[in-house]
Structure 1
Amino acid sequence: MRLLCCVWLLCCSLPLAASQQLNLFNWPEYLPPEAIQRFQEQTGIEVRYDTFDSPEVLESTLLAGASGYDLVFPSTTVLAKAIQAGALQQIDGSRYQYAAELDPELMQFLAVADPNNRYAMPYTWGTIGLGINRQAVERRLGQIPLNSLDLLFKPEYVSRLKDCGVSILDSPQEVIAIALNYLGHDPYASYPPALRQVAELLAGVQPNLRYVGSAQHIDDLASGEICLALTFNGDAGLAAARAAELGQPFEVVYRIPREGSVVWFDSMAIPVDAPNPEAAHRLIDFMLQPEVLAEVTNELFFANASLAAGPLVDPQIVADPDIYPTEAVRARLFVERQLGVADQRQRTRLWSRVIAQH
């Protein structure tokens, strides 16, 4: 899903006036092309689709200003920073026909980054957990629970998986938060003893990693090049689908760690200096339709926040507790939280010291 590429979606055959163009900035392959085509046909608004390959690229673009974009898709932490910097327009949820169908509990989660839900509408949400080649892992470790970060963080386990390939996200804030939570600390603790424990934990993992990255693991899980990845649930879902298409003799599964993990949101937001904000509002309204969000979930394997979309989502996806977690699992999840500059730098230095050795 989040592939390192840049594509343009220019689906209209006739040139349109500049006022009828919507400039969109998003992850690659993160909107179904069929949905964009329908939006263009229904509205006459041409969508120019530019892509970023990391949250940091979107963050720097928003904070620099004058981006030229009308609609962006920030993660929870980027959303919080952009709101604080005054880089986004306020929106009125009542203007969107299907906003009332959004899950109130998930809106409260999102409100950690966007108090009172004044600046963004949720697009997709999910967790960070374990993408696993079930057969490869069980051959090496036997019938042990697959829903535990012990697979990654205990040297006696991860060392036995080194030969079949282990990767983690190049995402220090999230990975360090997950490690802190695993060790029994507040995920956003900043006191030195806790961070020293995290450094020791990651140092034990580091020699067993094939690589640290943000996209390669999707194809590598599907092809059998790696057998364990700390990854986004949707990325693991794509890897599983690709492995099945390839007729692989193994199954790729995703598990939310029983110890708890990050719940993340990608949202739709309008830059404060958007050239065509009305077009952005129309696309948000279009995307919040239950049938469109169901299409997103069915294609990308990421959950959406629309209660009305549930009956339209593939029943196997809805029934998968690692995509739509149960209440018991939700209780162990924690939302991405914006950290102060000093704490961010502290974590970045920790990450560089440990991971740079790889």
Structure 2
Amino acid sequence: MKKQVLALAISAILLAACGKKEEPVAAPAESAAPAVAATAEAAKPAGPMLDDEKLLNIYNWADYIPEGMLAKFEEETGVKVNYNTFETNEALHAKLVAGNSGYDIVVPSAGFAKKQIDGGLFQAIDKSKLSNYGNLNAGFMSKVASVDPENKHLVPWAWGFTTVGINKQKVEKALGGMPMPENAWDLVFDPKYSSKLKACGITYLDSPSEIMPVVLHYIGKPAYSEDPADFKAAGEMLSKVRPDIRMFSSTMIDDIAGGKACAFIGWSGDINIAADRLKETGGKDEIVPLLPTTGGLVFIDTMAIPTDAKHVNNAHAFIDWYLRGENSASMANEMNYPTANTAGMDAIKPEIRDNKTIFLAQEDLDRLIPPGGYSNEISSTLNDTYNAFKRGK
């Protein structure tokens, strides 16, 4: 999807729930109605300021919005939404850098968005237009501020972590009598295990900004290192498992549910969605995201308004609408991703709220690798290392 990337001491967040143009609202006409009635009318909220053109263009990750959500917003506001999707942060970045994207809301991962903020690709959010902004968990927002100072540009959509997932039955069969490793990352990074899983298939998420941080962390380097020597070491490690990797996926949910791999590096929510889809089609195997002892990589996907957006008021109206507790909760219920929204927690299904691979236990939270970003200076080294690995060079 979706998706890419805050040492998150956010158990409170996990227990907190998780957003065209139309004419501005006209001032009320004078009336001879009783003063009490006039006072009651004045107390009603004025509603969002919309643009004259009833249109909103959104660019989000694939498989990342509940069915019917856009129709509900359109019905309530009269704003027509054009909704398109991307598969990686890199694809979104290329669209933004090219300019004139035509989008009013985009959904970058917070760590990746840092370079987009620094590059002036987003305009500041007008918080005075967001009546539901206070629903966001303050502690969580302080973490987002590490890449977006003062929370000027980014509003959380959802979050999760990049981790190892497996088809339990197929992995157990491929390993034979070998026990599962203590550290789940060994399944996809250590030839001792990957060579055995080769037959049933290992798939990596096809995104340099997702794969390289976890590789660097695995070999004991900073996940967001700026040292070319660290990338050289990462490339050497990856070369040892390259013969065992079946594919690099940009359609992870379909590939997992379709049985194309038994072990995979992917987003936690996507792995859970794939598990649900397999059950819906009568599949008997159990697909699960694992919780490595050294942690998964946190990502926070955020809404931002491009500098050249044409429907800015409509963008704010949608963001504010999404920040209603029940709307953010519906995302968690259907998409298997937690939110940063403190309202609507009671609306989240117990099977979602109690799933420890979605709303993590404190010990698993504490092990998460904080998201971050790479400078433009090291980006070419990162991409070269990843592409050489992918080509098997």
TM-score (norm 1): 0.90
Q: Is the 8 A contact 2:204 2:248 kept in 1?
A: yes
C-alpha spacing 1:335/1:291, structure 2 compared with 1 (3 Å): same
Q: Are residues 1:286 and 2:321 paired?
A: yes
Q: Are residues 1:189 and 2:225 paired?
A: yes
- Secondary structure (helix, strand or coil) at the match of 2:122 reads coil
Name 1:272's counterpart in structure 2: 307
> Alpha-carbon deviation of 1:67?
2.4
- Secondary structure (helix, strand or coil) at the match of 1:335 reads coil
Rounded to whole Å, the distance in 2 between the matches of 1:88 and 1:342 is 21
Q: Are residues 1:212 and 2:236 paired?
A: no
> Alpha-carbon deviation of 1:94?
5.0
Name 2:81's counterpart in structure 1: 47
- Secondary structure (helix, strand or coil) at the match of 1:331 reads helix
Rounded to whole Å, the distance in 2 between the matches of 1:178 and 1:40 is 40
Aligned residues: 344
C-alpha spacing 1:251/1:147, structure 2 compared with 1 (3 Å): farther
Rounded to whole Å, the distance in 2 between the matches of 1:324 and 1:296 is 14
Q: Is the 8 A contact 1:173 1:344 kept in 2?
A: no
> Alpha-carbon deviation of 1:196?
2.9
Q: Are residues 1:198 and 2:234 paired?
A: yes
Q: Superposed, which structure 2 residues align to 1:185-264 within 5 Å?
A: 185-215=221-251, 217-264=252-299
Q: Are residues 1:176 and 2:244 paired?
A: no
C-alpha spacing 1:151/1:315, structure 2 compared with 1 (3 Å): same
CA shift digits 1:146-180 (9 cap, x unpaired): 76201111111111111111011111222111111
115, 125, 145: which one aligns with 2:159: 125
Name 2:149's counterpart in structure 1: 115
> Alpha-carbon deviation of 1:282?
0.6
> Alpha-carbon deviation of 1:225?
2.6
Q: Which amino acid aligns with 1:250?
A: D
CA shift digits 1:10-29 (9 cap, x unpaired): xxxxxxx9611112222234
Q: Is the 8 A contact 2:329 2:347 kept in 1?
A: yes
Rounded to whole Å, the distance in 1 between the matches of 2:112 and 2:227 is 24
Name 1:106's counterpart in structure 2: 140
Name 1:9's counterpart in structure 2: none
Q: Which amino acid aligns with 2:138?
A: P
52, 70, 73: which one aligns with 1:36: 70
CA shift digits 1:45-71 (9 cap, x unpaired): 111112333322321222333322211
Q: Which amino acid aligns with 1:185?
A: K
More displaced, 263-272 or 119-128?
263-272
Rounded to whole Å, the distance in 1 between the matches of 2:383 and 2:333 is 35
- Secondary structure (helix, strand or coil) at the match of 1:163 reads coil
Cα RMSD of the aligned pairs, angstroms, is 2.1
Q: Which has the larger radius of gyration?
A: 2
Q: Which amino acid aligns with 2:258?
A: S
Q: Is the 8 A contact 1:127 1:256 kept in 2?
A: no
More displaced, 197-206 or 47-56?
47-56
CA shift digits 1:291-339 (9 cap, x unpaired): 1111111111111111223221121222222212223222222333222
> Alpha-carbon deviation of 1:342?
2.4
316, 329, 349: which one aligns with 2:351: 316
Higher RCO (C-alpha under 8 Å, 6+ residues apart): 2
More displaced, 112-121 or 99-108?
99-108
Q: Which amino acid aligns with 2:132?
A: Y
Q: Are residues 1:330 and 2:379 paired?
A: no
Rounded to whole Å, the distance in 2 between the matches of 1:342 and 1:82 is 14
Name 2:54's counterpart in structure 1: 20
TM-score (norm 2): 0.82
> Structure 1: which 5+ runs fail to align?
4-16
Name 2:336's counterpart in structure 1: 301
Rounded to whole Å, the distance in 1 between the matches of 2:107 and 2:209 is 19
Rounded to whole Å, the distance in 1 between the matches of 2:60 and 2:228 is 36
Rounded to whole Å, the distance in 1 between the matches of 2:80 and 2:391 is 43
- Matched-pair identity in %: 35
C-alpha spacing 1:97/1:256, structure 2 compared with 1 (3 Å): farther
> Alpha-carbon deviation of 1:287?
0.6
> Structure 2: which 5+ runs fail to align?
4-50
Q: Is the 8 A contact 1:128 1:231 kept in 2?
A: yes
Q: Is the 8 A contact 1:128 1:256 kept in 2?
A: no
> Alpha-carbon deviation of 1:193?
4.2
C-alpha spacing 1:43/1:146, structure 2 compared with 1 (3 Å): farther
Name 1:6's counterpart in structure 2: none
Q: Is the 8 A contact 1:147 1:255 kept in 2?
A: no
Rounded to whole Å, the distance in 2 between the matches of 1:225 and 1:51 is 23
Name 1:154's counterpart in structure 2: 190
Q: Which amino acid aligns with 1:177?
A: P
> Alpha-carbon deviation of 1:345?
0.9
